[in-house]
Amino acid sequence: MENKIGFNNEKYFSAQLKAIRARVNKFDKLYLEIGGRLTFDGHASRVLLGYNPKNKINILKALGKDLGVLYCISAIELEKEHDHHYGWSDTKMKVDELALKEIEELEREGIKVIGIVATRFSGQENALKFKEKLHNLGRELYFTKTIKGYPHNFNNVFGKKGFDAQEMVPTNQKIIGVTGAGANSGKMFFCLSQVYHEEKRGVSAGYAKLETFPIWNLPLTHEVNVAYEAATADIGDVIMIDPFHKKAHNIIAVNYNRDIENFYILKRIIQRIVPKSNFMQTYKSPTDMGMNMAKYGIVDDKVCKRAGREEILRRNEFYSKALKNSKRKETLKRMKELLKKISG
């Protein structure tokens, strides 16, 4: 009988939890950016056959009372009008609706959401309406403001309207999970802003990332990694070899374009906001910031490759239908490029 399981949750769970705890022990407080779908990762369960779509939730539960979660939502995305037939991240939901749904799901799972943050705020009307909506629900909305020229203009980043002007969200837990509604939700900036303010208060805080994709120690052209590109074709994510990791460790690692492109600037920011004794100063690549142990759960690579290929085809069909009468042609063009990768 053909093997239908490609992934072992126990192996992954053990390795991932060990890696997180090891990183937590490097700091007084860790801001842990959580990428991808948190409450139910359907994509991961499709490409890593056997993967429990609630793995991230279970990992957070295992961290216990040390954990509190902050939820980020981009003020820019709140302001956008999404196509009725093509909602946020293929859910057909508005971004604020998705945020409230995920927050409710987290709390239903027993995970404490200690705050909600509107990032990249510059006076957007919908963000203010969302604040009022949350107020009526008995919740508070915090803001991080847009810094002109961020991250390249250091005069602004460290000026009076830079990190100093950002609102600090009070937290008491040792581990602060930072999640958000989709990509580009401003999670990294928010984490760095919090680390900056923590350091000013004498707290040795750090930042790290928990993601499932791309899988850094799988090949660039592996179907599972290409499937990640297909899943993010609408926001233009591209995976590539991490040049910083290769130079520092002589190890080939896969990462995605935004983290690679911004790492040099990020490293300079880290050097400014924390002392040399802070473990963040040892980060020599964007891959170093992460703790992705997904490869350790793969027990049948062929099964996962086949599933990745099927997911790429599924995504192509979805985009073709959803964007048939849309002006968003770049997504369809991107999918053509990805189909070529698996045509051999």
The Cα 287–Cα 242 span in angstroms is 7
Rounded alpha-carbon distances, angstroms, from residue 320 to 186, 239, 326, 338: 29, 22, 10, 14
Q: Is the pLDDT of residue 331 over 90?
A: yes
How many of the other CB atoms lie within 10 Å of CB of 216? Answer: 25
pLDDT in tens, 250-270: 999 999 999 999 999 999 999
User: What is residue 1's predicted lDDT score, i.e. its pLDDT?
Assistant: 39
Q: Are strands 113-121 and 141-145 parallel, antiparallel or unpaired?
A: parallel
- pLDDT band at 328; cut points 50, 70, 90: confident
Radius of gyration of the chain from its Cα atoms, rounded to whole angstroms: 20
- Is residue 226 within 8 A of residue 308, CB to CB? The reply is yes
pLDDT in tens, 267-325: 999 999 999 999 999 999 999 999 999 999 999 999 999 999 999 999 999 999 988 87
Q: How far is CA 176 from the centre of its chain?
A: 14
Q: Are strands 205-210 and 254-256 parallel, antiparallel or unpaired?
A: unpaired
User: What is residue 329's predicted lDDT score, i.e. its pLDDT?
Assistant: 86
Average model confidence (pLDDT) for the chain? 92
pLDDT > 70 fraction of the chain, expressed in percent and rounded: 95
Beta strands in 189-344 (DSSP E): 205-210, 239-241, 254-256
- Is residue 334 within 8 A of residue 233, CB to CB? The reply is yes
Q: Are strands 239-241 and 254-256 parallel, antiparallel or unpaired?
A: antiparallel
The neighbouring-strand residues paired with 207 are 31
Residue 38's contacts (CB-CB under 8 Å, 6 or more residues apart) are 56, 57, 60, 102, 106, 179
- Tokens representing residue 241 in the block: 């070899």
pLDDT in tens, 45-56: 999 999 999 999
pLDDT in tens, 12-42: 999 999 999 999 999 999 999 998 889 999 9
Transcribe 226-241 into DSSP letters.
Answer: HHHHHHTTTTT--EEE
pLDDT > 90 fraction of the chain, expressed in percent and rounded: 84
Q: How far is CA 189 from the centre of its chain?
A: 12
User: What is residue 84's predicted lDDT score, i.e. its pLDDT?
Assistant: 40
How many of the other CB atoms lie within 10 Å of CB of 276? Answer: 7
User: What is residue 85's predicted lDDT score, i.e. its pLDDT?
Assistant: 39
- Tokens representing residue 59 in the block: 């990992």
Rounded alpha-carbon distances, angstroms, from residue 14 to 10, 70, 140: 6, 24, 35
CATH numeric code, 9-220+259-302: 3.10.630.10
User: What is residue 66's predicted lDDT score, i.e. its pLDDT?
Assistant: 95
The Cα 246–Cα 242 span in angstroms is 7
pTM for the model stands at: 0.93
Looking at per-residue pLDDT, the higher value among 83 and 91 belongs to 91
Q: Is the pLDDT of residue 100 over 70?
A: yes
Half-sphere exposure in the Cβ direction for 19 (13 Å, CA): 20
User: What is residue 93's predicted lDDT score, i.e. its pLDDT?
Assistant: 81
- Tokens representing residue 43 in the block: 């994509």
The Cα 154–Cα 46 span in angstroms is 42
Amino acid making up residue 312: I
User: What is residue 81's predicted lDDT score, i.e. its pLDDT?
Assistant: 59
The Cα 105–Cα 250 span in angstroms is 42
Q: Are strands 29-34 and 175-180 parallel, antiparallel or unpaired?
A: parallel
| Nearest of 280, 274, 296 to residue 208 by alpha carbon | 280
Rounded alpha-carbon distances, angstroms, from residue 99 to 114, 136, 291: 14, 16, 25
User: What is residue 3's predicted lDDT score, i.e. its pLDDT?
Assistant: 60
| Nearest of 166, 192, 163, 191 to residue 177 by alpha carbon | 191
pLDDT in tens, 118-174: 999 999 999 999 999 999 999 999 999 999 999 889 999 999 999 999 999 999 999
Q: What is the mean pLDDT of residues 70-94?
A: 71
Q: Is the pLDDT of residue 91 over 80?
A: no
- Tokens representing residue 125 in the block: 């009307």
pLDDT in tens, 168-227: 999 999 999 999 986 678 999 999 999 999 999 999 999 999 999 999 999 999 999 999
The Cα 238–Cα 226 span in angstroms is 9
